[in-house]
Chains A and B, each alone.
Chain A
């Protein structure tokens, strides 16, 4: 693909920024300082203006230095306010962010009206105009980026300890305070690098969004930092290419939209932590519980002899409306459970009626056994009232393993009836039937 000179600058800048932001964002995210980057970005603005007022130059280095100083001042003021007053952290961040930004706007508009200074070079720091990146900017970015990378690699072990257990870090003699300031300094550097590319508002997303996405895929810090940097860089590539090819598509916002999309996909699909898998597991458990309940209901209908009209074995058939009535479940749910049980050979259907097969009777008896043994346990060992144990047993019958329930039966001395006087299906009978 043929890229213009500007587009190539943007591509390099956005990729650099994405990688750096993702890397440091991981630490910020884990240290619960996600919004510090946001505050730093806003706080940097007056620094840029003051640097311009002092030096009269629009070259990157003085402006970077000014932004760096102001951002660091903002960070320290937040820490100091929280530490020394009753103002909470969220308010402190909001105050520093908005007041520094306000001062920045005042200075910016003041500079604008000065005879010497048309401010066109400065307000790109506000909204980020990646297209105005020049080679000199990229050089500054590359040097700062290399420094940040080197520091993170050299102090990885220390930063890791600081991130996860700063108390322990202090106890083995690490200079925790100085490391924290160093971390903040690195964050400020990256934020300042990003100002020109994505602008004040969106910097926080280049830090946090890739890190939050990477967090879903791994529990290891090294992998998370690398992955986060990768996601950030990839978002930078996609964003700059998209804005180079589609007219009137600003780079910064596209980068953020891309990384946000990656985050959403990660939240849903990441193995282990993905919300979708959790949902699926929940549904599987719910459907198993419904099947076990259906088996149990059939068993109990057969037990109480409500299932039919008496003659030649007909009493073991239960009608569809009866079953729906037991738990008030919908016909659709019941139908799904029935189909799976028939497929498993535990149930047979005749017209509108259902009956447990011998194997089904055994499976159902197993569930009922767990239920009733648990009721016995609660009343005998925990002294619960007889009318208080049913609900608890409804939950436990789906959770107890076969081994646990055998053990339970032994502890209880092989009881024959539950506290309500109903027979507990004995294990021996079930096993015999299985062998028969």
Chain B
């Protein structure tokens, strides 16, 4: 396998597994718990490393998984003591655990190859050279095995518990009433986050794994209303970010993981602006259209109430409209054939009266400035 292909495969596995789990974090408003876990697993990794003496995958995954669950437990303990709110609980727990990890590493593991830079932003470029050997045979890159297994694990979890996860995400009360345990699912999900984080750790590092966990799912969230579609979109967006990031990093000769996060961010901005349903542009258009319609209706109502003389400056004053806006509103109404010109003034047509009749007149009436 060519090194480039290995890197791309590892990055895609990380992106897909993060997107799967991250979608639920985003929907459950727990994105920052994911952030916290991604930092707090550090002491777990350090302890596993100190106990085994080398970077074996399994103990590290176990150590990180345990710390992930401990993080969630601690945050909830603080939370439930009602002495601190959730954001504050998260904000004190993960730096404390992260600090313990840093101290452990710099005190006892400073000479070995578990360095902090790697922990924070990973080094996926080395993935092809670190191969897994079993009984003398070369089984291929270790990172590919690790991230592949994590992806498989997440896929199995989400497929097997799709219905349960969906229900408990959108209606935890109903899920509990139907006999699913939201608490159990919560911890299962959090353990999955921990495992995903540690699987992605060596490739993209602690902070950028957050980018992969949160950004593609949030982008997908802007594009669809359906959970299934959102998961698929998030995975696709994650993989696009991974591949695009690799290309960008090649061009700039810069960090691959950082470039992946950058591309994910660009995709998010694009969705934020241009999403057909939830983009800022679409919302702006809808707002403008609604505003224009309301203005037209107000003018129609005004005409119906006998303001046919229409000295333009009176209307401008009464509605607080500028001259150009008044012109625009009249032009629209003329085009629709709801009013017609009559000398200097305007007159309601039959179809205009009908339109007015069919829209809630009472609702409109109180929006019309008093004609006193």
A71 to chain B, nearest CB (A): 16
Q: Which residue from A90, A98, A204 sits with its C-beta under 8 Å from B208?
A: A98
Q: Are B99 and A254 in contact (CB under 8 A)?
A: yes
Instruction: Confirm or deny: A230 has a beta carbon within 8 angstroms of a beta carbon on chain B.
Output: no
Residues of A within 8 A of B100 (CB): 253, 257
Q: Are B29 and A88 in contact (CB under 8 A)?
A: yes
Instruction: Confirm or deny: B185 has a beta carbon within 8 angstroms of a beta carbon on chain A.
Output: no
Would you give the 0/1 interface string for A107-137, flagging 1 where the beta carbon is closer than 8 Å to chain B? 1111001000000000100110000000000
Q: Which residue from A38, A106, A248 sits with its C-beta under 8 Å from B259?
A: A106
CB nearest to B275 among chain A residues = A85
Instruction: Confirm or deny: A256 has a beta carbon within 8 angstroms of a beta carbon on chain B.
Output: yes
Q: Are B83 and A106 in contact (CB under 8 A)?
A: no
With A90-B30, A108-B255, A275-B83 known as contacts, the answer to whether A95 contacts B265 (CB < 8 A) is yes
Q: Are A126 and B210 in contact (CB under 8 A)?
A: no
Instruction: Confirm or deny: B91 has a beta carbon within 8 angstroms of a beta carbon on chain A.
Output: yes
Q: Are A103 and B95 in contact (CB under 8 A)?
A: no
Q: Which of B245-271 contact A (CB under 8 A)?
A: 248-249, 252-255, 257-262, 264-265, 268
A116 to chain B, nearest CB (A): 15
Would you give the 0/1 interface string for A1-41, flagging 1 where the beta carbon is closer than 8 Å to chain B? 00000000000000000000000000001001111011000
Residues of B within 8 A of A34 (CB): 85, 87-88, 90-91
Instruction: Confirm or deny: B353 has a beta carbon within 8 angstroms of a beta carbon on chain A.
Output: no
Residues of B within 8 A of A61 (CB): none
Instruction: Confirm or deny: B232 has a beta carbon within 8 angstroms of a beta carbon on chain A.
Output: no
Q: Are B211 and A98 in contact (CB under 8 A)?
A: yes
Q: Once bound together, how far apart are the Cα atoms of A216 and B81, in whole Å? A: 12
Residues of B within 8 A of A212 (CB): 84, 88, 92
Query: Of A106, A109, A126, A273, which is in contact with the most chain B CB atoms at under 10 Å from its CB?
Result: A106
Q: Which residue from B88, B106, B278 sits with its C-beta under 8 Å from A249?
A: B106
Report the stretch among B5-13, B53-61, B213-221 that lies at the interface: B213-221
Instruction: Confirm or deny: A67 has a beta carbon within 8 angstroms of a beta carbon on chain B.
Output: no
Residues of A within 8 A of B16 (CB): none
Q: Which residue from B95, B248, B258, B280 sits with its C-beta under 8 Å from A201?
A: B95
With A81-B272, A85-B278, A105-B121 known as contacts, the answer to whether A99 contacts B215 (CB < 8 A) is yes
A39 to chain B, nearest CB (A): 9
Residues of A within 8 A of B222 (CB): 85-87
Q: Which of A196-245 contact B (CB under 8 A)?
A: 200-202, 204-205, 207-209, 212, 215-216
With A105-B121, A106-B249, A216-B83 known as contacts, the answer to whether A91 contacts B88 (CB < 8 A) is no
Q: Once bound together, how far apart are the Cα atoms of A121 and B32, in whole Å? A: 30
Query: Of A37, A93, A216, which is in contact with the most chain B CB atoms at under 10 Å from its CB?
Result: A93
With A103-B258, A103-B262 known as contacts, the answer to whether A95 contacts B215 (CB < 8 A) is yes
Per DSSP, chain B at the interface is helix
B212 to chain A, nearest CB (A): 8
Q: Are A99 and B254 in contact (CB under 8 A)?
A: no
Q: Once bound together, how far apart are the Cα atoms of A106 and B245, in whole Å? A: 10
CB nearest to A81 among chain B residues = B272
With A86-B222, A102-B211, A208-B88 known as contacts, the answer to whether A35 contacts B32 (CB < 8 A) is yes
Query: Of B102, B120, B264, B268, which is in contact with the most chain A CB atoms at under 10 Å from its CB?
Result: B102
Residues of A within 8 A of B200 (CB): none
Q: Are B254 and A204 in contact (CB under 8 A)?
A: no
Q: Once bound together, how far apart are the Cα atoms of A147 and B340, in whole Å? A: 65
Q: Once bound together, how far apart are the Cα atoms of A200 and B102, in whole Å? A: 13
CB nearest to B214 among chain A residues = A94
With A87-B222, A106-B259, A249-B107 known as contacts, the answer to whether A94 contacts B34 (CB < 8 A) is yes
Q: Are A127 and B120 in contact (CB under 8 A)?
A: yes
A-B contact pairs, 24 of them (CB 8 A): A32-B85, A32-B88, A35-B87, A85-B272, A87-B222, A91-B218, A91-B221, A94-B35, A94-B215, A95-B268, A98-B214, A102-B208, A102-B265, A105-B121, A105-B208, A105-B254, A106-B249, A106-B262, A108-B258, A127-B117, A200-B207, A202-B99, A249-B103, A253-B102
Beyond the given A101-B211, A103-B258, A257-B99, please list 17 additional residue pairs across the A-B interface where CB-CB is below 8 A.
A88-B29, A88-B31, A90-B29, A93-B32, A95-B265, A102-B211, A102-B257, A106-B262, A108-B255, A109-B254, A123-B117, A127-B116, A127-B120, A200-B207, A209-B91, A250-B102, A275-B81
Closest 9 A-B residue pairs measured CB to CB? A102-B261, A105-B258, A99-B265, A205-B95, A98-B211, A253-B99, A94-B214, A106-B258, A34-B91
**Residues of B near any A CB (own CB < 8 A):** 26, 29-32, 34-35, 39, 78, 81, 83-85, 87-88, 90-92, 95-96, 98-100, 102-103, 106-107, 110, 116-117, 120-121, 207-208, 210-211, 213-215, 218, 221-222, 248-249, 252-255, 257-262, 264-265, 268, 272, 278, 280, 283
